[in-house]
């Protein structure tokens, strides 16, 4: 066996992942790549304040790189800035900027390739093509980073946090703005996205596909081009998130497409063109959410079946429910509807008269958008009343048989 490999094996056996730590202090006049290449595994490299101009720093061993007062790592818009191809790497307290635009390489401020147990936290990423890119990586943490770009077109912009073929990733407390998608998942498993703020991204604040058994908790997605898209996935939990001010002809608070066995609970949908859109979805439980002042609170397509809408609050939406089918294979029960005018003679807190949330006018608007000009006219109110009595365009059996008289308290 080669002597160097033998010594490395003995070191791994002796220390495991707890390498002896050597502190190396670096100034902007030093060659950062050479220092990283010559550092021992497990070293802590501390960068003094200043600007470090680099051409793709390559990290191939366990290291911790710390910034003092946020030194700047400048990629000069040519290539990737930092590439990690080792386990147990930590990057903390840096400003990383100017990863070059490339339509072939998808350059990122920080890329993690086939690595485990890496931590990227408390960094500021500015004007990069992609922000943080993880590929085939496991058990990493992306925490409390500010990731911002000022791109104007989707083709010249990458994603803020991009995961491909990863597992057990924790993304928490990040602020993302101005990228194509704020957070992007593809073929990701058993990961958690919690407490992030994704705002003013060109396409989606969150976009994930083929990513099963993930949780999205207490995030805010605001004023993104098309809102949030969740596709071709199962066993997803979305809880305590805020989807607000996602306006546009094709914008959504959340778009669900081809999902099964998911929970949408205690979220806040406010001032979106479409609050929640479901297409090809089944066994989705939508409960204890607020739908406030949206254009359409929920659009429920005909190929979505066996879904449950329970204990939600529908307040001052232009339209509460829209469906493109005269049949209904979903369940609505115990929701609060601000337009409900029924009564509660037995005082049990639920209306004695069922509520039909699909209005005739919403169907007309979907078929002919120009008819929106008639909204709130007396003629439209008369049409809605007559449709409610004798349904012809709206589904007869899409009703909430136990509408709440008061808002559901989510506490």
* Per-residue pLDDT tens digits for 183-232: 999 999 999 999 999 999 999 999 999 999 999 999 999 999 999 999 99
* Least confident among 116-120, 155-159, 403-407: 155-159
Long-range contacts formed by 322-328: CB under 8 A, 24+ apart: 322/296, 322/298, 322/358, 322/362, 322/363, 322/366, 323/299, 323/358, 323/395, 323/398, 324/366, 325/301, 325/395, 326/393, 326/394, 326/395, 326/396, 327/302, 327/395, 327/397, 328/395, 328/397, 328/398
User: Is the pLDDT confidence value at 394 over 90?
Assistant: no
User: Is the pLDDT confidence value at 383 over 60?
Assistant: no
Give the model's pLDDT for residue 395: 63
Give the model's pLDDT for residue 7: 42
Mean pLDDT over 303-313 rounds to: 96
Give the model's pLDDT for residue 172: 98
* Least confident among 10-24, 28-42, 72-86, 353-367: 10-24
Give the model's pLDDT for residue 128: 95
* Domain boundaries 22-196, CATH class: mainly beta
Mean pLDDT over 152-178 rounds to: 93
Mean pLDDT over 71-97 rounds to: 95
Is 288 or 369 the better-scoring residue by pLDDT?
288
CB atoms inside a 10 Å sphere around CB 189: 17
* Per-residue pLDDT tens digits for 13-56: 444 455 557 899 999 999 999 999 999 999 999 999 999 999 89
User: Is the pLDDT confidence value at 406 over 90?
Assistant: yes
* Least confident among 291-305, 308-322, 349-363: 349-363
Is 380 or 168 the better-scoring residue by pLDDT?
168
Mean pLDDT over 168-195 rounds to: 97
Mean pLDDT over 376-385 rounds to: 53
Vertex 322: Cα angle to 321 and 325 (nearest 5): 130
User: Is the pLDDT confidence value at 1 over 50?
Assistant: no
Give the model's pLDDT for residue 5: 42
Mean pLDDT over 177-183 rounds to: 96
Is 396 or 352 the better-scoring residue by pLDDT?
352
Give the model's pLDDT for residue 364: 54
Q: What percent of the chain shows pLDDT beyond 70?
A: 85
- What does the mean pLDDT of the chain come to? 88
User: Is the pLDDT confidence value at 368 over 80?
Assistant: no
Give the model's pLDDT for residue 14: 42
CA 88/CA 29 separation, integer angstroms = 27
Q: Would you list the domain boundaries of the chain? A: 22-196
Contact 286, 308 (CB under 8 A): yes
User: Is the pLDDT confidence value at 334 over 60?
Assistant: yes
Return the axis-axis angle of helices 360-367 and 378-389, rounded to nearest 10°.
110
User: Is the pLDDT confidence value at 321 over 60?
Assistant: yes
Instruction: Give residue 153's pLDDT band: very low, low, confident or very high (50, 70, 90).
Output: confident
CB atoms inside a 10 Å sphere around CB 280: 16
Most confident of 14-23, 166-175, 245-254, 380-389: 166-175
Give the model's pLDDT for residue 9: 46
């Amino acid at each position: 066996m080669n002597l160097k490999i033998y010594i490395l094996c003995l070191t791994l056996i002796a220390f495991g992942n707890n390498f002896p730590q050597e502190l190396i202090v670096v100034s902007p006049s030093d060659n950062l790549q050479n220092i990283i290449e010559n550092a021992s595994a497990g070293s802590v490299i501390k960068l003094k304040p200043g600007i470090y101009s680099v051409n793709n720093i390559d990290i191939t061993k366990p290291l911790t790189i710390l910034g003092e007062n946020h030194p700047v790592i400048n990629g000069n818009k040519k290539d990737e800035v930092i590439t990690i191809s080792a386990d147990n790497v930590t990057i903390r307290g840096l400003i990383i900027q100017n990863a070059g635009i490339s339509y072939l390489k998808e350059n990122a401020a920080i890329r993690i390739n086939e690595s485990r147990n890496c931590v990227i936290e408390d960094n500021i990423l500015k004007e990069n093509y992609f922000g943080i890119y993880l590929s085939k990586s496991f058990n990493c943490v992306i925490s409390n980073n500010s990731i911002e770009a000022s791109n104007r077109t989707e083709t010249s912009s990458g994603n803020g946090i991009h995961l491909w073929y990863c597992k057990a990733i924790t993304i928490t407390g990040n602020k993302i703005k101005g990228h194509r998608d704020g957070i992007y998942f593809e073929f990701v498993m058993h990961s958690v996205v919690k407490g992030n703020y994704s705002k003013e991204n060109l396409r989606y604040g969150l976009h994930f596909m083929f990513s099963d058994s993930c949780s999205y908790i207490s995030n805010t997605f605001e004023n993104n081009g098309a809102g949030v898209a969740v596709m071709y996935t199962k066993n997803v939990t979305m809880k305590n998130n805020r989807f607000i001010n996602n306006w546009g002809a094709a914008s959504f608070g959340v778009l669900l497409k081809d999902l099964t066995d998911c929970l949408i609970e205690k979220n806040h949908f406010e001032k979106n063109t479409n609050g929640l859109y479901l297409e090809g979805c089944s066994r989705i439980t939508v409960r204890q959410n607020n739908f406030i002042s949206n254009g359409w609170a929920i659009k429920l397509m005909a190929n979505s079946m066996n879904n449950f809408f329970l204990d939600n609050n529908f307040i001052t939406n232009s339209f509460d429910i829209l469906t493109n089918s005269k049949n209904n294979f979903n369940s609505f029960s115990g929701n609060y509807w601000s337009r409900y005018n029924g009564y509660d003679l037995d005082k049990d807190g639920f209306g004695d008269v069922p509520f039909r949330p699909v209005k005739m006018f919403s169907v007309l608007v979907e078929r002919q958008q120009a008819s929106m000009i008639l909204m709130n006219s007396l003629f439209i109110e008369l049409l809605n009343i007559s449709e409610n009595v004798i349904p012809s365009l709206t589904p007869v059996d899409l009703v909430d048989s136990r509408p709440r008289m008061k808002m559901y308290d989510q506490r």
